[in-house]
Chains A and B, each alone.
Chain A
Amino acid sequence: MKTEPPFVALVGNPNSGKTTLFNALTGLRQKVGNYPGVTVEWKEGILYSQHGHPIRILDLPGSYSLNARSPDEQILVEALLGRIDVLPEPTAVICCVDASNLERNLYMATQVIELGLPTVVALNMMDVAERRGMRIDVERLQKRLGVPVVPCEAARGKGVMEVRLALSQHPLPVPELDMEKPPLVEEAIEDLVPLFEHRKTLDSVLAHGEARLLLSCDEDPGLGQSVWQQIRDWQKRFDVEIPGWRSEWITHRYAWIGDVMRECVKRYNPEKTSVTERVDRILLHPFIGFPVLAFVMGVLFYSIFTLAVPFMDALDGLIAWLGNGAGNLLPDGQLKNLVVDGIFGGVGGVVIFLPQILFLFFFIALLESTGYMARAAFLLDRMMSKVGLHGRSFIPLLSSYACAVPGIMATRTIESPKERIVTILVAPFMTCSARLPVYLVMIAAMLPDGPGHALKKSLILLLLYFLGTFVALGFAWVFRKTLLKGPSPSTIMELPSYRLPRWDSVFHEMIDRAWTFLKRAGTVIFALSIVLWFLMNYPLLEDRSEFEAPVQEVVVETVTEVDSQLEYSFAGRLGKVLEPAFSPLGYDWQITVGILSSFAAREVFVSTMAIIYRVDDEADDSIVDAFRSAQRDDHSPLFTPLTCLSVLMFFVFALQCVSTVAIVRRETRSWHWPIFQFVYMFAFAWLMAFLVFQGGRLLGFS
């Protein structure tokens, strides 16, 4: 008979080395899962027991407590309670504990043990604890916690085997934590237990554990109205009978932990100044701190915009080669056009950013794993607080310089929902790399070639970056004052000890996130490329009988023909219909088509314009030349400096990226925010382009 493999949840404080332990336990047998309709992703892996039986391990988000305050923590509690539909109820828990930070780590560990699931405590970072002069009596700790405690150093692979052995016991022992319950809790639990006996495992220990955990919850972890109401009733009774009961429970737990610490931990060799502290004296120094941060960010940007370029070129070549190869295999016709122009052209436009995204994620993972990311947030918190955000919003905003999609994914570490939404709402203003092709081409079209203009061009580019950032922070401030008003919420953050990077974890992280980006963005772009290709190529011009009519002027023939196909297509017709809406910005129907198509992704603007102007070679030079020679119907030049500037303004501010809209929809679990975001950014972009174009005309520019 085939039985379900055991399902083990891996939990622990942030920075406890949980993910390193997960990687060490599962090797490469991992996959990323996600909960339909919910923001948070998790990693799952397979571990083989001593007897070779598979055990599923779920790596859950790190937290300091089981009282959920962020979406990540909410998932943690729901998964532990077996309330996530697509996951089985956990049969056991591994609780990863940082031995060098034992006192605080035991807080959540005891909450987890109290749940009643068989638990193995992995006492990680024993080496660090020893260096700090702590000697931990594992035997005694095990006795007090009432669960197996396995000392280990996951980063070196030490103790990993022992964790595996501890999990291989059958049956796993039921925890026996010797902690007294606070007053009134016993009575409340007995009252609530019947509500939880529906669980598949139907174990009264678990029902007791669940009831106890839920009594201290502030938010409903998916229980349903009536059950949650009963818990609220008890909480109200506590409010009356034991004022300040929440703090009292925390104090009670720490009192017990203090007792355990005295009993199980011997400190020898009083602590000298730690390495972390000495490093922080430099990295957080009043004068040196910011230059160091600027240097780190400089290196990051340099690598994104310089080191990534050869890889992007190579990838571009590869995609073109594959496209050609596929084109050669297919007979001429619409199918070939679809594959070569629509699919390879469209998807390639997104995939090309992969090297930049890999570099960005590599740096983010590196800075996170060494502990510097928290310092960056510490340094920048004051600045971010001016616009009502947390130092942590800095990381998602920074990521958005490469691409808003991973940036928005990175907002999950922000606890407060309001700050998180504000960060999501303004992230797409940060100049992502998809804007670069448009910026570069438009700037080149605006300014003549020549050595004297190189500096001017870079200056304009810098200005565009600055403009996006400035407006992002401005809107953040406005939103925090109006729509998402509220007191400045939790800014409490741990500054973890510095560590040498774990290269395998850094690479793992980088690959994981990049893959998620590819899947999310790739599928949307894939579908849109096809739609867009269809809109621009259908209905077919050949279908028209007039096409057979003799053409009088041979000279204009090619131009007319090309224009007609696009004009005749759905996209062209839409461009014409919408032209009046964009003409105040100085755009004709062709630019309007370019703008419309770039709603899929900004860089599509360049390729669409290339199609419109029939540029065979997609090299920047030829596109720029085509732009310069493009004319309006009255033969006046189309891309005057003013029009170029107006187009640039539009691209700085408008949310032209379906992938971003899709990710915001996922991350906020609603259509409400992505639609709002799209509309306000579009309106602002239109307004700015309008002001620049009309203002410029009034001032006599052309």
Chain B
Amino acid sequence: MKLKDMEPGQRGIVKEFTGGEGDRLRLMEMGLLPGTEIRFVRRAPLGDPLEVEVRGFHLSLRSSEAARIGISVV
């Protein structure tokens, strides 16, 4: 499943980045790498952006970016 389709409270492991380069490197530098465990915290009240917890801190990213991140839910 894609990160953008996760439900609040769900945990998962980052599997892969698909699509173009985009902000992949920036996300990776901030610790969102394949193999990293994440927790989907919430969607913003208007549905976008999303908030995830990764390596103990909270990160916000847009659905369009989250659509390119494959997750295996644990």
Contacts and interface: CB of A to CB of B under 8 A. Distances in A.
Contacts of A103: 31, 55-56
Interface string B58-70: 1111101100000
A502 interface: no
Contacts of A382: 44, 46-49
Residue with the greatest number of chain B CB neighbours at <10 A, chosen from A107, A382, A385: A382
Contact of B62 (A289, A290, A491): A491
Contacts of B65: 491-492
A100 B58 CA distance: 12
A69 B31 contact: no
B47 to A, nearest CB: 7
B67 to A, nearest CB: 12
A185 to B, nearest CB: 17
Given A289-B45, A492-B23, A107 B29 contact: yes
Contacts of B62: 381, 385, 488, 491
B57 A246 contact: no
Residue with the greatest number of chain A CB neighbours at <10 A, chosen from B33, B51, B57: B57
A254 B62 CA distance: 24
A247 B25 contact: yes
A343 B51 CA distance: 52
A495 B58 contact: yes
Size category of the A interface is: 35 or more
A488 B64 contact: yes
B1 interface: no
A250 B36 CA distance: 13
B59 A495 contact: yes
B25 A104 contact: no
B61 A492 contact: yes
Contact of A132 (B27, B34, B56, B60): B56
Nearest to A386: B46
A410 B3 CA distance: 32
B49 A381 contact: yes
A496 B51 CA distance: 12
Contact of B56 (A100, A247, A280, A374): A100
B14 to A, nearest CB: 11
Contacts of A383: 46
Contacts of A494: 30, 57-60
Interface string A273-304: 00011001000111101100000000000000
A607 interface: no
A379 B42 CA distance: 12
B28 A492 contact: no
Contact of A378 (B25, B27, B44, B47): B44
Contacts of B61: 491-493
Interface of A is mostly: helix
A274 to B, nearest CB: 10
A284 B29 contact: no
Nearest to B48: A382
B59 A492 contact: yes
Contact of B28 (A100, A247, A284): A247
Contacts of A246: 25
B36 to A, nearest CB: 8
A286 B45 contact: yes
A254 B28 CA distance: 9
Contact of B33 (A132, A250, A488): A250
A381 B44 contact: yes
Interface string A246-260: 110011001000000
B2 interface: no
B33 A104 contact: no
A399 interface: no
Interface in A219-261: 246-247, 250-251, 254
Nearest to A286: B45
B11 interface: no
Contacts of B24: 247
A251 B33 contact: yes
A382 B49 CA distance: 7
A415 to B, nearest CB: 9
A220 B73 CA distance: 40
A100 to B, nearest CB: 7
Nearest to A289: B45
Given A378-B60, A379-B45, A382-B49, A492 B31 contact: no
Contact of A65 (B29, B33, B51): B29
A490 interface: yes
Contact of B30 (A64, A247, A251, A391): A64
B29 A490 contact: no
A101 interface: yes
Interface of B: 23-31, 33-34, 41-42, 44-49, 51, 55-62, 64-65
Given A64-B30, A494-B30, A495-B60, 10 more contacts: A107-B31, A287-B45, A289-B44, A290-B45, A381-B62, A382-B47, A489-B23, A492-B27, A492-B61, A493-B49
22 contacts: A101-B55, A101-B57, A104-B31, A107-B30, A246-B25, A247-B25, A250-B25, A254-B33, A284-B45, A286-B45, A289-B44, A290-B45, A379-B45, A382-B47, A385-B62, A488-B64, A490-B23, A490-B26, A491-B60, A494-B57, A494-B58, A496-B58
**Which 7 pairs, one residue from A and one from B, show the smallest C-beta to C-beta distance?**
A382-B46, A495-B58, A65-B29, A250-B28, A286-B45, A103-B55, A104-B31
